[in-house]
Structure 1
Amino acid sequence: MKKGICIFATLFMLVSYGLVFAGAAPKKGKELKISLIAGFPTNIGIKSLVSEFEKETGMKVTFIETGYGAILEKNLVDLSAQTGAYDVLHVESIWFSEYLPYLYPLNEFMEDSELFNEEEYDLEDFTSYTPLTMDVFSRDENLYGLPHLAGIPLCFYRKDLLDKAGLKPPKNMDEYYKVAKRLTQDTDGDGTIDIYGCALSAKRSAIVDEWFSFFFSYGGGLPDRPEQYTKMTFNNPTALKALKLYKRLYDECAPPESMTWEFGEVGSAMQRGVVAMMWNWSNSGSWYDDAESSTVVGKVGASVPWPGRFGVNALGIPKDAENKEGAFKFITWATSKDITYKVTVAGGATPCRLSVLTNPELVKERWWFEPLREAGRYARMYWIIPEWSAIDDALAIELQKVLTGDISPEEALRRASDNAYKILEEAGYFD
Structure 2
Amino acid sequence: MNRSRTRFAVPALLTGLTLALSGGGAQGSGQTVTILINDSPWFPGFRAIAEQYQKETGNRVNLNVTPFAGMLQKTQNAVTARESEFDLVNLNEQWYMRFYADGQITPLRKIDPNFKLDPQIIEYDYATRWDARLGNSTRNGEILGLPINGNIQLLYYRKDLFDKAGLAAPKTWADVEKAARASAWAAPSSSRSSGCWAPTASPASAGPRRCAAASPGGCCCST
Q: 1:138 to 1:242 in 2, by over 3 A?
A: farther
Question: CA separation of 1:131/1:78 partners in 2, compared to 1, >3 Å: closer, same or farther?
Answer: closer
Residue in 2 aligned with 1:174?
Answer: 158
Tell me the distance in 1 between the aligned counterparts of 2:67 and 2:160.
31
Secondary structure of 1:147's aligned partner: coil
What pairs with 1:317-328 in structure 2 (closer than 5 Å)?
Answer: none
Contact 1:96 1:137 in 2 (8 A): no
Structure 1 position 143, deviation (Å)? 1.6
Q: Choose from 104, 107, 110 the match for 1:108.
A: 110
Matches within 5 A, 1:73-152: 73-100=73-100, 101=102, 102-112=104-114, 116=115, 118=116, 122-123=118-119, 125-127=120-122, 132=125, 134-135=126-127, 137-140=129-132, 141-152=141-152
Secondary structure at the residue paired with 2:91?
strand
RMSD: 4.2
- Within a 5 Å distance, the mapping from 1:20-419 to structure 2 comes to 25-26=26-27, 28-41=29-42, 43-100=43-100, 101=102, 102-112=104-114, 116=115, 118=116, 122-123=118-119, 125-127=120-122, 132=125, 134-135=126-127, 137-140=129-132, 141-155=141-155, 173-175=157-159, 218=180, 244-245=194-195, 307-310=199-202, 372=205
Q: Distance in 2 between matches of 1:95 and 1:372?
A: 21
Q: 1:85 to 1:244 in 2, by over 3 A?
A: same
TM (norm. structure 2) is 0.55
Structure with more of its chain in helix, by fraction: 1
CA gap of 1:178–1:70, structure 2 versus 1, over 3 A, is farther
| CA–CA separation in structure 2 for the residues paired with 1:82 and 1:105 | 20
How big is the shift at 1:243?
Answer: 7.1
Gaps of 5+ in 2: 1-15, 133-140, 164-175, 182-186, 209-223
* Distance of aligned partners of 1:60 and 1:104 in 2 relative to their CA distance in 1, 3 Å threshold: same
For this pair of structures, how many residues does the alignment match?
161
TM-score by structure 1 length? 0.31
2: distance between equivalents of 1:243 and 1:21?
53
Asked whether the 8 Å contact 2:35–2:87 carries over to 1, the reply is yes
The structure showing larger relative contact order (alpha-carbon pairs under 8 Å, at least 6 residues apart) is: 1
SS of the aligned residue for 1:126 comes to: coil
2:83 aligns to what SS in structure 1? Answer: coil
Take 1:52 and 1:33, find their aligned partners in 2: how far apart are those partners? 16
